[in-house]
Amino acid sequence: MMNYSGACAQCGRSLPARSGPGRPRRYCGRRCSSAAERERMARRLLLGALVEQRTLNEEDGNG
């Protein structure tokens, strides 16, 4: 999700003012950036486990 509205994509707080060129901020700080990364990793792991379970069920003829 690309969020350039001026609010942190994790907690919703307003973002600090930009101090030069570059990519727009998505998170208000390191804590929110890290929390978002952990959530993305958890989603990837869960999706991988679901795909693996479905594959095993299909191989067993239960799918």
CA–CA distance, 46 with 7 (Å, rounded to integer): 28
Q: What are phi and psi of 14, to 5 degrees?
A: -70, 145
Number of folded domains that form the chain: 1
Containing domain of residue 32, as a range? 1-15+23-63
| pLDDT, tens digit (0-9, with 9 covering 90-100), for 9-55 | 999 999 988 888 999 999 999 999 999 999 999 999 998 888 888 88
Dihedral of alpha carbons 19, 20, 24, 25, sign: negative
- Does the structure show a pLDDT above 60 at 3? no
Biggest distance spanned by C-alpha atoms of the chain: 58
Q: Indicate whether this model's pTM tops 0.75.
A: no
